[in-house]
Structures are given as structure tokens and as C-alpha cells.
């Protein structure tokens, strides 16, 4: 019990540095499975989307529910999970064209796919965002790009919303499955922006006078 309390409430994750190292290289597994196993491109997109939602949730959760410190402890892991999610999404996008013997890097310029009522344009926007995010998710890029690096990272929002629209259009009957997580993320973003916490924080001055 005290282990769980330490983990969830105090955010003490054992072997966290080792866990980060392991997660950093997990992206190799989907690459290998894509090359050697016949799983199909869809599963990669589904898992990539779930991990993307997780990455988008962690930061606002740590701000909005500060007493549950595991969220704050997990904030640094967003980079590693983000890379895994990005690789999965890239494989999904690449894989769709590969089964048709087409190259995604050529097809993104094909006007046939650029119809915003269809699934492809939103998918391609997500793919372009994910490729830029993956290329710049290393220390060398942070060093070279300096202040622009943070701006480029904002592409994560483009990826998130373009993916949400893509998936909604793919499966209009089950759009609730997209609307619920996207709404939760947005509500938490707004709460974090306005510094609303759960439980409500007392104003700092009130704490001092007690
Ligand atoms: C060039 C880019 C992309 C292409 C060509 C593409 C293509 C497709 C296609 C054809 C489907 C429907 C498959 C089927 O039902 O048999 C699909 C589903 C899906 N895609 Fe993409 N996609 C792209 C980008 C993305 C991105 C950026 C994401 C973000 C996570 C994503 C996530 C998904 C998910 C989760 C599904 C399953 C939706 C469901 O059935 O509920 N895709 N994609």
C-alpha cells in the first residue's frame, strides 16, 4: 500500500531513469514488426493515437491535479512516449500507401488526396506534422533551433486535431470515441491555462495568514 501511495501520490517511480531509457528505444519494435510481421497499417494508427492522447493529457493533468504527483513525475516521459507514438503514426500513414505500391512522400503532392471533406488530407497533415516533430525531437535540433524549437513543437497540436478529424471521418458512426478524449484534453488545457486546480487551491495570501 505504501508503495502505491509513494508511486501515485508522491510520484516516486522506481528506476525511472532506466524506464525512460527503455521507452526511448521502444520505437524500434513497431519498425521491426512492420518489416517482419504482417499486422496491417491500421493497428499502428490506433495505438499511435492512444499514445498521442496520453502525451497530450499528462502536462495539463499534472497542473490541474497537483496533489497526485505521479502526473508531474511522468511529464519528462512525454518525449519518449511522443517518439513512440510518432513512429507508430508514421508507419500507419506510410503503410497505407505501401500496400498500394505507392510512396507517401510522392503521394502527399497528389491533388487527388487534398479534399478536406475526406480522410486523406487530414491524415496527410498529421503525417507531415509527425515527421517534422520526429526529426526535431533530439538534443541537436534543440541546440540548433534554439527559440524556434518550442514553436515547432506546437505542431503537436496540429497533429492532435488533424488526427482527431481524420479518425472521426474514417468512422463517423463512432465519433463519440474521438469526441470524449479530445474534449477531456481541451477541458484540462483550459483549466491549466486559468490555473484551476482540483482540489481548489487557496489563494497564496490566505495560506500565509493562517
Ligand atoms: C497519410 C496519412 C494517413 C493515411 C493515408 C491514413 C489512412 C487511413 C485509412 C485508409 C484508414 C481506414 C482504414 C480502415 O478502416 O480500413 C485509417 C484509419 C485510422 N487512422 Fe489513418 N491515415 C493517415 C494518417 C493518420 C494519422 C496522422 C493518424 C493519427 C493517429 C491516424 C490514425 C488512424 C486511426 C486511429 C484509424 C482507425 C479509425 C477507426 O477505425 O476508428 N491516421 N487511416
pLDDT in tens, 61-84: 999 999 999 999 999 999 999 999
Q: Are 23 and 84 in contact (CB under 8 A)?
A: yes
Contact 47, 174 (CB under 8 A): no
Ligand 1 touching residue 95 (CB < 6 A): no
What distances in angstroms separate CA 104 from CA 39, 121, 127, 138, one per listed residue?
A: 19, 12, 9, 24
120 Cβ below 6 A of ligand 1? yes
Q: Would you state the pLDDT for residue 209?
A: 44
- Closest ligand 1 atom to Cα of 108: 1
Residue 95, pLDDT score: 97
Q: What is the position in ligand 1's atom list of the atom closest to the CA of 104?
A: 1
If one residue of 49, 170, 178 were mutated to test the ligand 1 pocket, choosing by the most ligand atoms within 8 A of its CB, it would be 170
Does the pLDDT at position 203 exceed 70? no
Q: What pLDDT band is residue 205 in, cutting at 50, 70 and 90?
A: low
Nearest CA to ligand 1 atom 24: 123
Q: Tell me how far apart the 2 most distant CA atoms of the chain are, in Å.
A: 70
Nearest one of 4, 137, 7 to 72, comparing CA atoms: 7
174 vs 106: which has the higher pLDDT:
106
If you ran DSSP here, which 8-state letter would residue 38 be given?
-
What is the phi/psi pair of residue 177, to 5°? -65, -20
Q: Which long-range contacts (CB under 8 A, 24 or more apart) does 17-23 make?
A: 19/77, 20/76, 20/77, 20/80, 23/77, 23/80, 23/81, 23/84
pLDDT at 156 over 70: yes
Q: Please identify, by atom number, the ligand 1 atom nearest to the C-alpha of residue 88.
A: 30
Amino acid at each position: 500500500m505504501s508503495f502505491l501511495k509513494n508511486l501515485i501520490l508522491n510520484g516516486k517511480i522506481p528506476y525511472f531513469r532506466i524506464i525512460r531509457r527503455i521507452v526511448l528505444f521502444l520505437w524500434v519494435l513497431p519498425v521491426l514488426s512492420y518489416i517482419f510481421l504482417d499486422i496491417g497499417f491500421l493497428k499502428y494508427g490506433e495505438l499511435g493515437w492512444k499514445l498521442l492522447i496520453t502525451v497530450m493529457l499528462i502536462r495539463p493533468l499534472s497542473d490541474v491535479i497537483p496533489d497526485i504527483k505521479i502526473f508531474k513525475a511522468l511529464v519528462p516521459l512525454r518525449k519518449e512516449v511522443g517518439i513512440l507514438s510518432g513512429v507508430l503514426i508514421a508507419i500507419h500513414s506510410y503503410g497505407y500507401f505501401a500496400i498500394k505500391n505507392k510512396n507517401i512522400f510522392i503521394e502527399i503532392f497528389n491533388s487527388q488526396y487534398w479534399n478536406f471533406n475526406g480522410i486523406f488530407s487530414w491524415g496527410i497533415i498529421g503525417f507531415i506534422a509527425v515527421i517534422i516533430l520526429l526529426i526535431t525531437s533530439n538534443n541537436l535540433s534543440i541546440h540548433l533551433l534554439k527559440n524556434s524549437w518550442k514553436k515547432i513543437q506546437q505542431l503537436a497540436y496540429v497533429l492532435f486535431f488533424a488526427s482527431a478529424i481524420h479518425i472521426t471521418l474514417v468512422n463517423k458512426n463512432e465519433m463519440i470515441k474521438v469526441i470524449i478524449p479530445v474534449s477531456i484534453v481541451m477541458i484540462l488545457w483550459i483549466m491549466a491555462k486559468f490555473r484551476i486546480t482540483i482540489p481548489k487551491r487557496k489563494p497564496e495570501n490566505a495560506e500565509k495568514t493562517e
